[in-house]
Chain A
Amino acid sequence: MKNIIIILSKELKTYFASPMAYIVAAAYLAITGFFFVASVSDAFSEASIRGYLAGATFFMIFMSPAITMRLIAEEQKLGTLELLLTSPVKEAEVVIGKFLAAFLTVIIMIILSMYFVIILYIFGDPDTGPLFNGLLGLLLYASSTLAIGLFASALSPNQIVGLVVGSGILTALTIVDFVASRIQGIGSDILSFMQLGASFSVFDLGALGVAESGHFADFARGIFSITDVVFYISITIVFLLLTVIILESRRWR
């Protein structure tokens, strides 16, 4: 536990000592801001954060791998991974520490964007339950995208590979319902179950921000479902485990 905190605080310091975190945070606020404004600025529009959630889930396809891409790839490239793994530290502690650092960074960005919520309460009358449900969904979704990004970062010493592979996996898991709707049978069920983020309806102006299918759709609509919670936590754990396995694989290669 102590080791996890040491790694976590080192990574957090590194994030905020470089311009990267600030640039990403600015882009996050700009893009979610755009989606939020677009979703609430019509006449009689609903006082909800669905637009914000749509923008956030969409942008995290690129943002999460960008945040995690250096975490392990850079250690491999600098050779510090060898040092870290010859210190009295377990691989799992390294992975969890790094994951938590990325997760905290994203949480800080989400907190920064909370003035949208304040605006909603000032000018409208949002439903508090669905609102917090949506934010919970966003946190769960963020954790699974970061775990996938971390996994991609462990694949090679090249950060760009981490970014491309991470975004690739996330894009695939986002458009999977597009494929699922075109095939039949159990394959279709499995594929649509794997739907990770917002669906294409994000770009449908009429239904802006309302994901129609997938685990995130429930959160966006204000429905709390334990299946969805378990799904996101499972994805997070599976990809963190895979990352640990990649780090351990040097032992039996």
Chain B
Amino acid sequence: MIRVEHMYKNYGPYPAVIDVSFEVLKGEIVGFLGPNGAGKTTTMRSITGYLPPTSGNITVSGFDTVKYSLDARRHIGYLPETVPLYLDMTVIDYLTFMGRIRGMNRKWVEERIPKVIDHVKLGDYRNTLVGKLSKGYRQRTGIAQAILHEPDVLIMDEPTIGIDPIQVVETRELISELGESHTLLISSHILPEVSTICPRVLVISDGRIVADDKPSNLSQRLSGNERIELGVSGTDPKTAISAIRKIKNIIDVRSDTRAEKLDQASKENYHSILVDTKSNNNSSEKIAKLIVDNGWGLRNLTPLPMTLEEIFLQLTQDK
């Protein structure tokens, strides 16, 4: 559906995107991950035909985005990073205009709008001025305009940025639903976001693709480590840490210094400890046994998955 081949994009002398190639197949939901300034927005703008690449080819639904730009655009629904809304139009007027300008005829627009408004749950606000909507509802209006013309491909640049947590969850659900019927490319710098929605993640850093995999594979491939959060009582932390250090395959043991953990630990009178260990050798059992054998109290033993942030740092730092 989306095919990017050896795309380069320079802003004057500065390269923003360097030799990026990837393909998104029909029905896939792909997360596009990278820190700010990595080239996500530039790549997305090239796919939508807003900025042509300096070199390389991009096709959407088989149409070259430079040569057959207008045809390619018909197949794309796009939600830019700042949700593009005319603040002095009502939701319905806005959607009607967007549909018409995308080449939908009047009848099709009239049929589609109620369905789309239902889909993004904007029903109560259909005649409200867009400028009076809260940020979350503006986001929905933005999504509604992107899916209005039933595009094959949906491109969303940071769709959950700047809205409150409840609306983030709702937006995420909406996006997952959209994934059932569309090909989706979603960018984000918020990493857990991508891992919850997308079965496949492209990681971009300094204009280059540095990884292309499932989120779960990424974490295994990269680290081979897991982290365990421990709550131990009945001893001082130093003794506990040095005892745990002696277990085989343990990489690192240290006191947990996260503020909320410290707080909780001191309230409930135990010590919070973080253990990094190699995966797949029953470290949790060994640690639990050690604590019980020593007669200490085991309050908490939680395996923590490597967060995407950490994976991301590893990927972008040891190139």
Interface of A toward B, CB cutoff 8 Å: 3, 6-7, 10, 13-14, 17-18, 78-90, 250-251, 253
Contacts and interface: CB of A to CB of B under 8 A. Distances in A.
Contact of B101 (A3, A17, A18, A82): A3
B88 A83 contact: no
A79 B84 contact: yes
Contacts, number: 62
B182 interface: no
27 contacts: A6-B100, A6-B101, A7-B101, A14-B88, A18-B88, A78-B82, A78-B85, A78-B87, A79-B82, A82-B50, A83-B78, A83-B80, A83-B84, A83-B98, A83-B145, A86-B48, A86-B50, A86-B78, A87-B101, A87-B103, A88-B73, A88-B74, A88-B103, A89-B101, A250-B50, A250-B51, A251-B51
B108 interface: no
Interface of B: 11-12, 45, 48-52, 70-71, 73-74, 76, 78, 80-89, 93, 97-98, 100-103, 145
Nearest to B69: A88
A213 to B, nearest CB: 42
A85 B11 contact: no
Nearest to A97: B101
Contact of A87 (B11, B71, B73, B89): B73
The 9 closest A-B pairs by CB, nearest first: A83-B84, A79-B82, A79-B84, A80-B84, A86-B48, A88-B70, A88-B73, A6-B100, A87-B101
A89 B97 CA distance: 13
Contacts of B45: 82
B52 to A, nearest CB: 5
Contacts of A82: 45, 50, 80, 84
Contacts of A85: 50
Nearest to A86: B48
Given A10-B97, A250-B50, A253-B11, A86 B85 contact: no
A6 B97 contact: yes
A84 B85 CA distance: 11
B88 to A, nearest CB: 6
A92 to B, nearest CB: 12
Contacts of A250: 50-51
Nearest to B72: A88
A90 B101 CA distance: 11
A88 B83 CA distance: 19
A7 B88 CA distance: 15
Contacts of B87: 78
Nearest to A74: B86
Contacts of B71: 88
B133 to A, nearest CB: 14
A135 to B, nearest CB: 32
Contacts of B100: 6
A7 B97 CA distance: 8
A78 B73 contact: no
Nearest to B100: A6
A14 B89 contact: yes
B84 A17 contact: no
Which of A3, A80, A83, A84 has the largest number of chain B CB atoms within 10 A?
A83
B97 to A, nearest CB: 5
Contacts of B12: 253
B60 to A, nearest CB: 11
Contacts of B97: 6, 10
A86 B52 contact: no
Which of A81, A88, A253 has the largest number of chain B CB atoms within 10 A?
A88
Contacts of B101: 3, 6-7, 84, 87, 89
B198 to A, nearest CB: 22
